[in-house]
Amino acid sequence: MMRPPAPDAGKKIIARNKKALHEYQILETWEAGMVLTGPEVKSLRAGKVSLGEAFGRIERGEVWLYDLHISPYDPASRWNPDPKRPRKLLLQKSEIRKLVGAVEQKGYTLVPLDLYFRRGLAKTTIALARGKKLRDRREELKRRAAEREILRAVRNVR
């Protein structure tokens, strides 16, 4: 009897946005394809990407990813596009409609969480997020430290 493949089967992660999980409260996530040129895909495969300051924006019914830095691919020097150009994200119309309503609310933004290849196609996980206040971040750090202490105590008891 064969098992169904795991949800992350065939998923090769290129980059993660660790800062996003610290600075934002993640409300909902979607998987989106990306419109890229050939040299950009080669650079992604080499891992030459930074999504630290990247963010999403909805314009004219389309979702765009801004400030995603994909380093130029050296052998394709003449055909390399601008490293920080806006890149179109591919989502279903129903998903975009959901996003339009949510992003218009005050304090909500679109943040990419990670970049990966699935079955040879470049994808990103984009999240609807709300910025955390400084006190929220401090409370989160205190909560994690308390959980670690509890786990240590439980391990030492055994």
The pTM of the full predicted model, rounded to 2 decimals, is 0.75
The tokens 């079955």 sit on which residue?
119
Write the pLDDT tens digit of every residue in 65-77. 999 888 887 787 7
> What's the whole-number mean pLDDT along residues 81-109?
84
List beta partners, residue 126: 30, 112
Whether 123 shows a pLDDT value over 90: the answer reads: yes
Quickly state the pLDDT bin for 4 (edges 50, 70, 90). Answer: low
Of residues 158 and 110, more confidently modeled: 110
Please check whether residue 73 is in contact with residue 42, taking contact to mean a CB–CB distance below 8 angstroms: yes
Q: Which CATH superfamily is domain 11-132 in?
A: Small protein B (2.40.280.10)
List beta partners, residue 29: 127
Buried-state track 79-107, b at ≥16 Cβ within 10 A, e below 16: ebeeeeeebebbbeeebbeebeebeeeee
The reported pLDDT for the residue numbered 5 is 55
